[in-house]
Structure 1
């Protein structure tokens, strides 16, 4: 067991223990190795210990608790408790807070005047639901401000917090208040398009943005279908389809277009700021506009142009004068926009503002207006001076809290554009994600390249390369002279990499984010750079690049998946049995084990995420570190491309319940203490000749791909740890989620489990037809009595 305990990036020695808890109502307890079970939690409760948050790292079972007594003796004597001590004020101020103001003194004494102040959110412990006048007065007095200068958030959807400006001396005193759990810096939000707004472009995959260009085949012979998927390829213009080499089935019209779905985009604004006088790509589909950045004048127009472009990628549907039809990923969906634009800075870059302390207020407004998909192409980047990755913070916590409380809300965030070859070794450095992108319950989107090899820098015909646009970030080859839009198999160099500061795997997915053609705001103010990355030949459309461009494409795909689920029979039926449950049970009589029809409401974000991830395809990548193979196989998620590139065709195919594919949603119940399991078998080939029946090759060889996803409680650590296990009963072997491809374990093994991620996947190739398969979701440690999850599987 480690001699140190680490929380919020601060490490404290375990031998530094208080005699009792007489001066605090909060303690940390650590078990001897195994998670607390239900009986142990009940025993601790009788001793006045109430679990608040799981904060363990590196295998430690560590819990932050409220404590009603003074003496810790009885708690420390419990056989399963290794450590019990007061929650130290040393944990309250994260290391990253020191970087929020480089001129802030590294130490200060009470009463010392700080030379600089930093705006912070003071988060209180979980059992505090309101800020009393006395506590607010105390906090304001420490910061030397009037209580009216503070902002208090007591929304039930997020932790109670107080926003205030304070110097180093005040921060030290704030950390000594027993009610304070952690203090996070308030950081400026940024658009994740590109540095200095120079790269503006087209996209090739356009996650179902209708393929409105002539699709040349890459030199490696990759087909259009391989690049964009069946459904996306089917959206091409007729003359393009006829010459694309697609089969007749692949030339069928798109079946799903986001009809009946409402998507909210939080960005700079929308076009002219009107729901009726709109860009022709959005006719009669703008439901509502909300002003957060300029509330005084209730302005929602888009002088920057960025938000309108994002909206077009999500759900635009228009005609380009030379390119033809330009569709967003969900061209029939309805739009809500929250405008965060405040003003331009001296460099004509958009300044965002108006963000509430609790981002849940933004999400709630959209949710109440009917949105169930929420797209964010902004976030908190790294500090340029230090390039320190932002850890999990109040914003990430509010994202996770809202999704946990509203499990049918799918929230997507751009990973960020901080990718850089920092040490000039030809690979893009890891750990550069935005703060919001580290949230467990959102879908974090990185960018891969599109395929537009003939694109040049406007009229100058300069190389369309990373070095042209970012000479300092990509100063050496192979990155410097590489074209931005010629390799859909490669992650864009600018795309922020994971893992998170907490070692979680992010991004979840990638989609094309270079050279994306989409709608241009009719009130865009600064037009000098619009053509620098390719001339659109239509003043109503322009190019942009960034993870911000990839994210709306995936958000549109989320709406399409929701539509497809409803079309397949998934209905919002309170108190009724979903018809799919009955259908699935009848389809597989006797093969679903203890599977019982359950009551379902709206499709959960976990199901949407699991379906997209299970349908994703691995990409070859580029500028990867040496520890990753050059040819990434399925089943090897990584911090560069996540689980792969979105393929909406494969995802939609997975929705249909057959012998070859399916999905389910269920709940792990702590009181029952049992794992979920389902039984199936590898499908047998059809029409096998009688004389070949006993030949092994006639039985077929299949690959099974299974993805599990669930929403977790807010907090930097994984509060509820569920594990995906796939057992080949016929071979007496099992595989575990997110382990190395090919790594197998003995049945009922206790080794080889992922303790950091709430998305897990198993890919098992070379299965024989008829093999009996058992898929399990096993609880390891739980902080919630019930944990809903989604499970998606397919044989190929």
Structure 2
């Protein structure tokens, strides 16, 4: 049998070594010959197997209270059945830290040597490594709650309640000795354990080409993010006051500042990173010393900010968790932000890292609160030819992961040089921007934005190191990296939300986050016209808010619009036509008489449930009405390839785009098809944006 990857671990199914009974565990792995169907789930449920989640291709986790596994293996659609071995609960990140994934030696097929039915209860010899932060999650149908598990581990001396935080009934963060992680994995209720990587702000650490002032949308649209609230998780804000504001911020633009470590911790920004990031969104300043006296604005100068400092007084970020600290608390708070920008994530350790518990928290949050849009930086450990640098929490399916592209500011190496000619680097991905795909095979990043030596606010409680250029205005500074590209996209999202809310006809009072993301993706500009899009360098391209807003234009007099959007729900086994589009003949260029063909772009986005695999399996197909199979193309596929791959659905990515260049005249339909939903029987929400160029 072909090997599987579960939580980054290679696992080779072997029926000859599989357990025949589940006497010491209630959780099992079932691999099917083809994708599991609703009818297959019913057959398994009748035998006592309750579906949990997909963990690898055609491989699923079930709760199974009976002990006999042979009756499940006898089902005609089942290929392999085994218990859920404890070592599979450990993220592969532990091995890279020198912590073996099994408490004893492992056999050649990935099973613990000895009886494959035994739950590993012993631990390796005591490790000299200091205790580490770990994230633990339980199965959805676990017999115990996380409080029960925490109490067991405290009583056995594995963890201390002083360094333990119960986040939800199925999630906990704690500190444990590396030698004890196997004891935790041996608990049957535990589903996944991963170590926390150290988090840091994502400034560019090597390449420092300089750009012009903060990238901003076309303000002729009149949209500035007014009425929108953006939450920023970073190193604090300026002097820590919502009243005594930095001069580049308008009065009342900062609604609240908190610290995730508690009210006794500082709120100000002594690093300078957080204030700069906030300025990329809402800065509205005029400087006689910089930019020739022009106004310097963030991408959403009319929006309001909620700032969450994620460092304690010593600058430590250990023990913070993105979903409860940065997402859920402000979302449910008085100011109710719906766009979130976070420029802190785990440092890339130099090897691929799988989807982890924090990624699960983020997916669970966004699936629960569908009007939220979360932007997270890709990181700056990139290098030419590097791949699979996006993982851990950044592998969350519902995130908008932002990379960095270069810009046009004249420069010499890493310093602004006005004597140099203007460059054209804004069509090039910054070499330091982390690349995808994720270990789960998803395209990342989603978008890129200018992120090289961006000019924004300097905290009055921080010093400027001039690492990224010298500002002639002591209230402003330059910084680089995906850290500053991310708030650029968050500000653009706030502008799109405002436009949806204020749309003169058919307004959207509470825009879904996936709809905003679909508009961002469909309006993005490919960096290289000849490159395959999406790709794992620049995703779907450079953010272009004017292009995204064009989808919302209402023609006058009424005519077929050039673009639009559709939101709907879909059940498993169904197909929904999101939009019918009439493509006219090529437009004639008067000077030459030549015909210019059209280009159709359609994007599908939906939010998925917690878990490394895509559970709500949707796919996009654009097809010519009455046409042949070759006159159709699925999302993320290339219509110019004639081997049939263009018509093969993508069942992995929750963001899918068709970009049909030189599309022939005719009638077309953009169809969304669903092959499975989770939870079973619950329709999945989806959102489509389209534009005819």
Structure 1 length-normalised TM: 0.77
Q: What 5-or-longer segments of structure 1 have no aligned partner?
A: 209-230, 236-252, 345-349, 421-426, 465-482, 571-578, 581-599, 621-630
Q: 2:635 maps to what in 1?
A: 737
Asked whether 1:125 is paired with 2:139, we answer: yes
Q: 2:119 maps to what in 1?
A: none
Q: 1:682 aligns with which of 576, 579, 582?
A: 582
Q: 1:485 to 1:395 in 2, by over 3 A?
A: farther
Q: 1:42 maps to what in 2?
A: 42
CA distance in 2, matches of 1:674, 1:283: 50
Paired residues of 1:499 and 1:506 also in contact (CA < 8 A): yes
Q: 1:254 to 1:719 in 2, by over 3 A?
A: same
Paired residues of 1:128 and 1:160 also in contact (CA < 8 A): no
Superposed CA deviations along residues 355-379 of structure 1, whole A, max 9, x for unmatched, are 13x6234211221231000001110
3-state SS of 1:263 partner: strand
Asked whether 1:791 is paired with 2:676, we answer: no
Q: 1:565 to 1:141 in 2, by over 3 A?
A: same
CA distance in 1, matches of 2:352, 2:59: 24
Instruction: Write out aligned runs for 1:223-238 (5 A).
Output: 231-232=217-218, 235=219
Q: 1:281 maps to what in 2?
A: 248
Paired residues of 2:562 and 2:691 also in contact (CA < 8 A): yes
Paired residues of 1:143 and 1:166 also in contact (CA < 8 A): no
Paired residues of 1:274 and 1:289 also in contact (CA < 8 A): yes
Q: What displacement does 1:290 show?
A: 0.6
Q: What displacement does 1:663 show?
A: 0.6
Q: 2:615 aligns with which of 687, 706, 719?
A: 719
3-state SS of 2:398 partner: coil
Q: 1:53 maps to what in 2?
A: 53
Asked whether 1:435 is paired with 2:392, we answer: yes
Asked whether 1:359 is paired with 2:323, we answer: yes
Superposed CA deviations along residues 503-529 of structure 1, whole A, max 9, x for unmatched, are 2100000010001000110111x44x2
Q: 2:557 maps to what in 1?
A: none
**Structure 1 stretch 295-304 or stretch 137-146: which is displaced more?**
137-146
Q: What displacement does 1:150 show?
A: 5.0
Q: What displacement does 1:134 show?
A: 5.3
Q: What displacement does 1:202 show?
A: 5.0
Q: What displacement does 1:140 show?
A: 3.2
Asked whether 1:26 is paired with 2:34, we answer: no
Q: 1:632 aligns with which of 530, 535, 538?
A: 530
Paired residues of 2:9 and 2:92 also in contact (CA < 8 A): yes
Paired residues of 1:682 and 1:702 also in contact (CA < 8 A): no
Q: 1:256 to 1:144 in 2, by over 3 A?
A: closer
Paired residues of 1:291 and 1:339 also in contact (CA < 8 A): yes
Q: 1:545 maps to what in 2?
A: 480
Q: 1:688 to 1:738 in 2, by over 3 A?
A: closer
Q: 1:330 aligns with which of 295, 300, 303?
A: 300
Paired residues of 2:7 and 2:92 also in contact (CA < 8 A): no
Asked whether 1:371 is paired with 2:268, we answer: no
CA distance in 1, matches of 2:8, 2:48: 25
Report runs of 4+ in structure 1 exceeding 6 Å deviation.
Answer: 102-108, 198-201, 461-464, 685-689, 697-700
Q: 2:60 maps to what in 1?
A: 63
Q: 1:561 aligns with which of 489, 496, 500?
A: 496
Paired residues of 1:100 and 1:185 also in contact (CA < 8 A): no
Paired residues of 2:212 and 2:455 also in contact (CA < 8 A): no
Paired residues of 1:27 and 1:65 also in contact (CA < 8 A): yes
Q: 1:42 to 1:164 in 2, by over 3 A?
A: same
Q: 1:205 to 1:442 in 2, by over 3 A?
A: farther
Q: 1:775 aligns with which of 670, 676, 685?
A: 670
CA distance in 1, matches of 2:101, 2:534: 40
Paired residues of 2:3 and 2:13 also in contact (CA < 8 A): yes
Q: 2:184 aligns with which of 174, 198, 212?
A: 174
Instruction: Write out aligned runs for 1:14-163 (5 A).
Output: 14-15=14-15, 16-37=17-38, 39-56=39-56, 60-100=57-97, 110=123, 112-116=125-129, 117-128=131-142, 131=145, 135-140=149-154, 144-146=158-160, 148-155=161-168, 159-163=170-174
Q: What displacement does 1:154 show?
A: 4.4
Structure 2 length-normalised TM: 0.88
Instruction: Write out aligned runs for 1:160-239 (5 A).
Output: 160-168=171-179, 170-195=180-205, 203-204=211-212, 206-208=214-216, 231-232=217-218, 235=219
3-state SS of 2:426 partner: coil
Superposed CA RMSD in Å reads 3.1
Paired residues of 2:622 and 2:632 also in contact (CA < 8 A): yes
3-state SS of 1:342 partner: coil
3-state SS of 2:438 partner: coil
Asked whether 1:753 is paired with 2:649, we answer: yes
Asked whether 1:405 is paired with 2:368, we answer: yes
Q: 2:600 aligns with which of 704, 719, 725?
A: 704
Paired residues of 1:292 and 1:354 also in contact (CA < 8 A): no
Q: What displacement does 1:105 show?
A: 11
Q: 1:605 to 1:260 in 2, by over 3 A?
A: same
**Structure 1 stretch 644-653 or stretch 129-138: which is displaced more?**
129-138
- The size of the alignment, in residue pairs, is 658
CA distance in 2, matches of 1:506, 1:686: 34
CA distance in 1, matches of 2:99, 2:81: 36
Q: What displacement does 1:131 show?
A: 3.0
Q: What displacement does 1:659 show?
A: 2.8
Instruction: Write out aligned runs for 1:378-457 (5 A).
Output: 378-383=344-349, 387-420=350-383, 427-433=384-390, 435-454=392-411
Q: What displacement does 1:497 show?
A: 0.7
Instruction: Write out aligned runs for 1:232-311 (5 A).
Output: 232=218, 235=219, 253-284=220-251, 285-293=253-261, 295=262, 297-311=264-278
CA distance in 1, matches of 2:133, 2:89: 15
Paired residues of 2:578 and 2:688 also in contact (CA < 8 A): no
3-state SS of 1:654 partner: helix
Superposed CA deviations along residues 400-456 of structure 1, whole A, max 9, x for unmatched, are 110010010000000000112xxxxxx342222253222110100000001111467
Q: What displacement does 1:299 show?
A: 1.9
Q: 1:112 to 1:678 in 2, by over 3 A?
A: closer
Paired residues of 1:455 and 1:534 also in contact (CA < 8 A): no
3-state SS of 2:490 partner: helix
CA distance in 1, matches of 2:651, 2:661: 24
